[in-house]
Amino acid sequence: MTSNGIALHRRLPELVQNGLSHLNLSLDTLDEFRFELMTRRRGLAAVLRTLDVALELLPYIKLNVVVVKGLNDSEVLDFVKMTKDRPIFARFIEFMPFLDGTVKKMVPSAELLQLITDHYPDIIRAPDELNDTARTWKIPGHAGNFGFISSMSDHFCATCNRLRITADGQIKVCLFDAKEVSLRDQMRQGATDAQLLEIIGQAVQGKQEKHAAMQAIDVVANRPMIKIGG
């Protein structure tokens, strides 16, 4: 499950008891002021409490950190430091240009890797999971590790097996492709499971070899993440 962690600490024990085994926690900053600026709400303390509870109940936690130039890129080493004594997998995600004019906010993963290497010259490349979107690195002696989801500067389209169903029932085969196919409408019209599988298959067949370059992504027709959900 992926969560912003605001209220999860109260429900997490029951969720784990009922089978939850993996958690991705979205946390872009460790600074209270920046947290309110980026999320438009208070609640950093609640998210950190969720992290503590999760680490008591699960073997490891993935932190999703979207790095934005000039905003939270100065905190990268702080997140890396969190992996020292706890089984945290910090995943630094390149800022994705879903809105016009946001391209300049992206920090390439190569720059972040160089920054971390300057402070931890003994870092080593760690094995990735099959079809994983993150490229993983580890600092010897650290309980956790860190990685990069380089959707923009070094895309992983060739091995991507992700599909997304949006909050309003559309299937997207790529976050950067404006095309959507409605499963909701087909289900309301009485489509069978076999028919839905055929529709999904057709959508996958239409998936491009790779998404457009950063400057060519359709930021007008394509919906931003906040409107996609799922």
Residues 76 and 106 in one domain: yes
The two tokens of residue 4 are 């912003």
Domain range for 186 is 162-227
pLDDT tier for residue 224 given thresholds of 50, 70 and 90: low
Q: Domain holding 78: CATH number?
A: 3.20.20.70
Domain boundary among 156, 190, 209: 156
Number of structural domains (the chain) is 2
Instruction: Give the model confidence (pLDDT) of 89-131 as tens digits.
Output: 999 998 876 555 566 788 899 999 999 999 999 999 998 777 6
Residues 35 and 103 in one domain: yes
Residues 144 and 174 in one domain: no
Could you tell me the pTM of the whole model?
0.78
2-3: strand order across its sheet: 2-3, 24-26, 61-67, 88-94, 145-149, 135-138, 124-125
Residues 134 and 201 in one domain: no
Domain boundary among 156, 190, 213: 156
The two tokens of residue 131 are 């079809």
Instruction: Give the model confidence (pLDDT) of 151-203 as tens digits.
Output: 766 666 777 788 888 888 999 888 777 788 999 999 999 999 999 999 999 99
Residues 128 and 69 in one domain: yes
Average pLDDT, the chain: 87
Which of 59-73, 109-123, 210-224 has the lowest average pLDDT?
210-224
Of 219 and 15, which is predicted with more confidence?
Answer: 15
Residue by residue, DSSP assigns 22-83 as --EEE---S-HHHHHHHHSS--HHHHHHHHHHHHHHSS-EEEEEEEBTTTTGGGHHHHHHTT
Residue 70 in contact with residue 128, Cβ under 8 Å? no
Residues 138 and 192 in one domain: no
pLDDT tier for residue 206 given thresholds of 50, 70 and 90: confident
Residues 198 and 170 in one domain: yes
Residues 188 and 220 in one domain: yes
The two tokens of residue 164 are 């997304």
Residue by residue, DSSP assigns 101-128 as T-GGGB--HHHHHHHHHHH-TT-EE-PP
As a whole number of angstroms, the distance between CA 94 and CA 92 comes to 7
Residues 217 and 127 in one domain: no
Residues 115 and 31 in one domain: yes
Instruction: Give the model confidence (pLDDT) of 4-13 as tens digits.
Output: 999 999 999 9
Domain boundary among 114, 132, 156: 156
As a whole number of angstroms, the distance between CA 12 and CA 16 comes to 6
